[in-house]
């Protein structure tokens, strides 16, 4: 049973005491408990070994996240009351989508801890966790449509681990996936037309680099899949905790302060899957680099891919892992 399923079994304690939690221990991780607060907020309790840093750790309070160290808690577990000292991580939201997002990240981090974590280890591990949620106060760097498209490509791929490894960490990068000689750029259309906007560099790479463009149609629907659905599916297929942490960090940094509204927006998964096509950069109509004046930069234009022959990425053999993993 995963952390989300465990949390959904819990009932909030009927008390005004914010330090009383109903909890369930995680069988695979004896040092961790999943709990629920009196406000129905999800809570992670971590029991750690004291060390020289025990009383130097700083407590953190953000919009959605509260993390306190060396906190005495009253825990009700299987109707038995106990008192103990924990690192307490509370996610301050009642929205199911956001709670699942929080618990998905928490599970990844719990898995990366040793069997008997020290307080230093817990603090260092959850430092990345805090940064993920700190970014939720920042403006978004990309639209929900663009992010959903990239996650869809990862989720629908043969080897999502490879795709995650080459996924960009910075929204300003020119390619969504960059494996040096192999590059993949994802374009989506909500108009059901394969007309996409390109930066000149995306269609004019160096001669020793290959670029493939993924083109999909997207349509919002109440019965589709959300960002949360895609991340859950990806997480189930990726064993590397560092890559899972990378995924959550990119999502949070990309959506920023729009995450609360964006994470529950759904798109038609079947339409995306059935409309997915791939194209070589050499075949797409473009403004050739030689025709762009030397002192002109940031050139962008639209190109219509409708009548261009699509390809299978695995057939584009340039000796890398990216294309054969799509």
Of the pLDDT bands very low, low, confident and very high (cuts 50, 70, 90), residue 150 is very high
pLDDT tens-digit readout, 212-263:
999 999 999 999 999 989 998 999 999 898 899 899 999 999 999 898 889 8
Axis-axis angle for helices 241-255, 227-237 (nearest 10): 170
Is pLDDT above 80 for 116?
A: yes
291-326 pLDDT, tens digit each: 999 899 899 999 999 999 999 999 998 889 999 999
Mean pLDDT of 114-124: 88
pLDDT at position 17 is: 84
- Per-residue pLDDT at 231: 92
Burial (0-12, 13-18, 19+ Cβ within 10 Å), 47: middle
Instruction: Identify the pLDDT of residue 19.
Output: 83
The answer on pLDDT for 57 being more than 80 is no
- Residues 269-288 have a mean pLDDT of 97
Q: How confident is the model at residue 1 (pLDDT cuts 50, 70, 90)?
A: low
Phi and psi angles of residue 308, each rounded to the nearest 5 degrees, phi first: -90, 140
pLDDT the model gives residue 260? 85
307: which residues sit within 8 A by CB, 6+ positions away? none
3-state secondary structure the chain: CCHHHHHHCCCCCCCCCCCEEEEEEECCEEEEEEEECCCCCEEEEECCECCCCCCCCCCEECCCEEEEEEEEEEEEECCEEEEEEEEEEEECCCCHHHHHHHHHHHHHHHHHCCCCCEHHHHHHHHHHHHHHHHHHHCCCCCCHHHHHHHHHHHHHCCCHHHHHHHECCCCCCCCCEEECCEEEEEEEECCCCCEEEEEHHHHCCCCCCEEEEEEEECCEEEEEEEHHHHHHHHHHHCCCHHHHHHHHHHHHHHHHHHHHHHCCCEECHHHHHHHCEEEEHHHCCCCCHHHCCCCCCCCEEEEECCCCCCCCHHHCCCCCCHHHHC
Query: What is the pLDDT of the chain when averaged over all its residues?
Result: 91
Q: Taking the model in full, what pTM does it have?
A: 0.85
Task: Compare 94 and 277 and report the one with higher pLDDT.
Answer: 277
pLDDT value, residue 51: 80
Q: Is the pLDDT of residue 190 over 90?
A: yes
Determine phi and psi for 246, rounding to 5 degrees: -60, -45
Q: Predicted confidence band at 54 (pLDDT cuts at 50, 70, 90)?
A: low
pLDDT of residue 137: 82
Longest dimension (CA), the chain: 76
Residues 40-52: pLDDT tens digits?
Answer: 999 999 998 888 7
For the stretch 124-147, pLDDT in tens is 888 877 888 888 888 898 889 999
């Amino acid at each position: 049973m995963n952390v989300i399923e465990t949390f959904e079994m819990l009932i909030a304690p009927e008390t005004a005491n914010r330090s009383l939690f109903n909890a369930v221990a995680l069988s695979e991780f004896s040092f961790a408990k999943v709990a629920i607060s009196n406000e129905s907020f999800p809570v992670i309790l971590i029991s750690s070994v004291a060390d020289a840093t025990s009383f130097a750790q700083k407590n953190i309070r953000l919009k959605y996240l509260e993390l306190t160290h060396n906190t005495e808690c009253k825990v009700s577990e299987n109707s038995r009351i106990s008192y103990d000292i924990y690192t307490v991580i509370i996610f301050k939201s009642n929205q199911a989508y956001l709670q699942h997002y929080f618990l998905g990240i928490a599970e990844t981090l719990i898995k990366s801890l040793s069997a008997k974590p020290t307080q230093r280890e817990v603090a260092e591990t959850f430092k990345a966790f805090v940064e993920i949620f700190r970014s939720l106060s920042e403006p978004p760097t990309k639209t929900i449509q663009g992010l959903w498209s990239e996650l869809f490509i990862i989720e629908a791929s043969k080897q999502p681990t490879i795709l995650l490894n080459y996924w960009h960490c910075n929204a300003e990068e020119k390619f969504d996936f960059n494996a040096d000689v192999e590059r993949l750029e994802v374009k989506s259309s909500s108009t059901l037309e394969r007309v996409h906007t390109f930066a000149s560099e995306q269609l004019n790479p160096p001669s020793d680099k290959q670029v493939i463009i993924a083109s999909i149609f997207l349509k919002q629907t109440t019965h589709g899949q959300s960002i949360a659905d895609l991340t859950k599916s990806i997480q189930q297929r990726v064993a590397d905790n560092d890559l899972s942490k990378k995924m959550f960090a990119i999502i949070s940094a990309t959506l920023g302060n729009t995450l609360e509204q964006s994470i529950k927006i759904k798109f038609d998964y079947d339409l995306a899957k059935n409309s997915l096509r791939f194209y070589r950069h050499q075949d797409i109509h473009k403004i050739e680099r030689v025709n762009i004046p030397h002192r002109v930069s940031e050139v962008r234009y639209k190109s219509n891919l409708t009548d261009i022959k699509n390809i299978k990425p695995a057939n584009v053999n340039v000796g890398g892992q990216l294309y054969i993993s799509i």
